[in-house]
Amino acid sequence: MSADGVKGSDDDRVFKALASATRRQILDALKESTLTTGALCARFDELDRTTVLQHLRVLEDAELVTGRKVGRVRHLTLAPLPIKRIHDRWIGEYARAAVELLDDLDQG
């Protein structure tokens, strides 16, 4: 476990999920709105349903997507907290350092 209390494997699952262009496209689609599994599969008509569902499993394992069943229909929603955690831990620190460096150069 890291100093901030997050297991490394949680971040590993998020990075693995984000490594695929298809999974990033799925997240982009869910960023626009909640979709049913069927509607999501229809957006990726170049892929068969099984492939889309495999990508969804990876995203759900990384806790980037949540599903809620209403009758026989599953509604999928983007869960942005893992991405925010990655941003706060990795990107935010580098961005802050870059801004400080630019400020130092401007002051000098």
pLDDT tens string 25-80: 999 999 999 999 999 999 999 999 999 999 999 999 999 999 999 999 999 999 98
* Phi–psi pair at 31, nearest 5 degrees: -65, -35
pLDDT bucket at 3, cuts 50 / 70 / 90? very low
Q: What is the pLDDT of residue 33?
A: 96
Query: Are the C-beta atoms of 90 and 99 separated by less than 8 Å?
Result: no
Q: Which residues contact 37 (CB under 8 A, 6 or more apart)?
A: 53, 56, 67, 73, 74, 76
**pLDDT tens digits along 9-23:** 888 999 999 999 999
Mean pLDDT of 83-99: 81
Cα–Cα distance between 41 and 61 in angstroms, integer? 19
Which pLDDT band holds residue 105 (cuts at 50, 70, 90)? confident
Domains of the chain (ranges; CATH) run 8-79 (1.10.10.10)
pLDDT band at 1 (very low <50, low <70, confident <90, very high): very low
